[in-house]
Structure 1
Amino acid sequence: MDPHVLFVSHDASRTGASLLLLHFLQWLRRSTDIPFEVLLRRDGPLAEEFAALSPVIHVAHRPQVSRLLRRAFRRPGPVPEPGVVDLRDLERVLRKWPIGLIYSNTVTNGQVLRALAPLGCPVLTHAHELEHSIRTFASQDDFRLTLERSAKFIAGSDAVGMHLQARYAVPADRIATIRPFIDTDDWIREPSDRGEGLRSALGIGPECFVVGAIGTVDWRKGADIFVQVANVVQASRGARDVHFVWIGAYDEARLYELMFDVKRFGLDARVHFTGPRTEKELVRDIRAFDLFCLPSREEPFGLVLLEAACQELPIVCFANAGGAPEFVESDCGFVVPYLDVHSMAGRIVELIAAPALRASLGRTGKAKAIARHDVTVLAPQIVSQIRLLLSA
Structure 2
Amino acid sequence: MLMKKILFISHDANRAGGQIVLLQLLRQLKQHNLPMHLLLCSDGPLEEEFRSLVSTTRLPRLGDVHFNPLVEKLLSLLSLDNWAKQKVLKRRWRRFKELFTAQDFGLIFANTIGAAAAYRQLDFISAPTVLFAHELEMSIKKYSDPQDMAYLMSRTNHLIVVSRAVAAYFQKTYSYPENQISTFQIIDTPLILKNIAEAKKVNIRRKMGLPAEAVLIGGCGHAEWRKGNDIFMMVAQQVITHFGNKPVYFVWVGMPVESELYEVQRFDAERMGLSERIIHVGLTSEVFHYLSQFDVFALTSREDPYPLVVLEAALAEKPIVCFEKAGGAPELVEEDAGFVVSYLDSVAMSNRIIELVENDALRLKMGQNAKRKVLERHPTDESVEKVVHIIQGLCE
Q: Deviations over 1:357-390 (max 9, x none)?
A: 1111111111122222242231211111111111
**CA spacing shift, 1:204–1:306, aligned 2, 3 Å:** same
Contact 2:295 2:318 (C-alpha < 8 Å) held by counterparts: yes
Residue aligned with 2:121, SS: helix
C-alpha displacement at 1:67, in angstroms? Answer: 3.2
Residue 93 of structure 1 aligns with which residue? 99
Write out aligned runs for 1:170-319 (5 A). 170-187=176-193, 189-190=196-197, 193=200, 195-196=202-203, 198-250=204-256, 251-278=258-285, 281-319=286-324
Task: Give yes or no for the alignment of 1:376 onto 2:381.
Answer: yes
Q: How big is the shift at 1:341?
A: 0.2
Which residue of 2 is the match for residue 161 of structure 1? 167
Is residue 39–residue 56 contact of structure 2 (8 Å, CA) maintained in 1? yes
**1:326 is matched with which residue?**
331
Code of the aligned partner of 2:359? A
The aligned counterpart of 1:67 is 87
Helix, strand or coil at the partner of 1:213:
strand
| Identical residues among aligned pairs (%) | 36
Instruction: Provide the residue aligned with 1:53 in structure 2.
Output: 53
Worse-matched range after superposition: 208-217 or 365-374: 365-374
Q: Say if 2:251 and 2:280, in contact at 8 Å, map to a contact too.
A: yes
> Given the alignment of the two structures, is residue 352 of structure 1 paired with residue 357 of structure 2, yes or no?
yes
Distance (Å, rounded) in 2 between the aligned partners of 1:263 and 1:110: 41
1:337 has 2:342 as partner: yes
Partner of 2:70: none
Task: Evaluate the alpha carbon distance shift between residue 185 and residue 6 of structure 1 in structure 2; reply closer, same or farther with a 3 A threshold.
Answer: closer
Could you tell me how far 1:227 is from its partner in structure 2? Answer: 0.5
Conserved 8 A contact 1:110-1:141 = no
Cα distance in 2 for partners of 1:157, 1:186 equals 20
Shift of 1:193: 3.4
Between the aligned partners of 1:201 and 1:275, the Cα distance in structure 2 is: 15
With 169-178 and 123-132 compared, the bigger mean Cα shift is at 169-178
CA distance in 1, matches of 2:343, 2:280: 24
> Secondary structure, in 3 states, of the residue corresponding to 1:207?
coil
CA displacement 1:13-70 (0-9 Å, x = unmatched): 110111100000001112x121010000001111111111121110121265663365
Provide the rounded CA distance (Å) in 1 between the counterparts of 2:90 and 2:97: 13
Letter of the 1:58 partner, please give it.
R
Q: Alignment RMSD, CA only?
A: 2.0
Residues in 1 aligned to 2:55 and 2:294: alpha-carbon distance in whole angstroms: 38
Distance across 2 between alignment mates of 1:124 and 1:377: 18
For the 8 Å contact 2:25–2:186, the answer to whether it is kept is no
CA offsets 1:292-339 (integer angstroms, 9 cap, x no match): 110000000000011111111111111100000111111111111110
Contact 2:192 2:312 in 1 (8 A): no
From 368, 371, 375, the equivalent of 1:366 is 371
> Unmatched 5+ residue regions in structure 1?
72-84
Shift of 1:183: 2.7
Deviations 1:207-241 (A, max 9, x none): 11100111011111111110000111122222531
> Which residue identity is paired with 1:42?
S
Give, in whole Å, the separation in 1 of the partners of 2:177 and 2:50. Answer: 33
3-state secondary structure, aligned to 1:116 = coil
1:80 is matched with which residue?
A: none
SS across alignment from 1:102: strand
Measured in 1, the distance between the counterparts of 2:86 and 2:55 equals: 20
What is the match of residue 119 of structure 1? Answer: 125
Deviations 1:139-164 (A, max 9, x none): 12221211122122111111111000
SS in 2 for 1:288: coil
Equivalent-residue separation in structure 1 for 2:199 and 2:137 (angstroms): 41
Q: 1:192 to 1:306 in 2, by over 3 A?
A: closer
Partner-residue secondary structure (3-state), 1:124: strand
Counterpart for residue 15 of structure 2: 14
Could you say what secondary structure the match of 1:43 adopts? Answer: coil
Deviating more after overlay: 355-364 vs 145-154: 145-154
Q: Structure 1: how far apart are the matches of 2:197 and 2:122?
A: 47
SS of residue paired to 1:255: helix
- Structure 1 contact 243–270 (Cα < 8 Å) conserved: yes
* 1:187 partner SS: helix
Q: TM-score, normalised by structure 1?
A: 0.90
State the distance in 2 between where 1:369 and 1:184 align: 12
Q: Give the secondary-structure state (helix, strand or coil) at the position aligned to 2:321.
A: strand
* Residues 165 and 172 in structure 1, CA contact (< 8 A), matched pair in contact too: yes
Q: Distance in 2 between matches of 1:257 and 1:184?
A: 38
Change (3 A) 1:268 1:194: farther
Call closer, same or farther: CA 1:302–1:192 in 2, change over 3 Å: closer
Query: Structure 1 residue 243: deviation in Å?
Result: 0.2
Gaps of 5+ in 2: 66-83
* Distance in 2 (alpha carbons) for counterparts of 1:120 and 1:192: 45
Q: Could you say what secondary structure the match of 1:125 adopts? A: strand
CA contact (8 A) 1:20 1:181 kept: yes
In 2, Cα distance between the equivalents of 1:99 and 1:240? 60
Find out whether 1:386 has 2:391 as its counterpart.
Answer: yes
| Counterparts in 2 of 1:368 and 1:37: CA distance versus 1, 3 Å | same
- Alpha-carbon distance between aligned partners in 2 of 1:239 and 1:347, rounded to the nearest angstrom: 19
Are residues 291 and 194 of structure 1, via their aligned partners in 2, closer, same or farther at CA, if it must alter by over 3 Å? farther
* Residues 315 and 374 in structure 2, CA contact (< 8 A), matched pair in contact too: yes
Contact 1:213/1:294 (<8 A) preserved: yes
Three-state SS of the structure 2 residue aligned to 1:44 is coil
Q: Using the TM superposition, give the Cα deviation of residue 166 of structure 1 relative to its aligned residue in structure 2, in angstroms.
A: 1.1
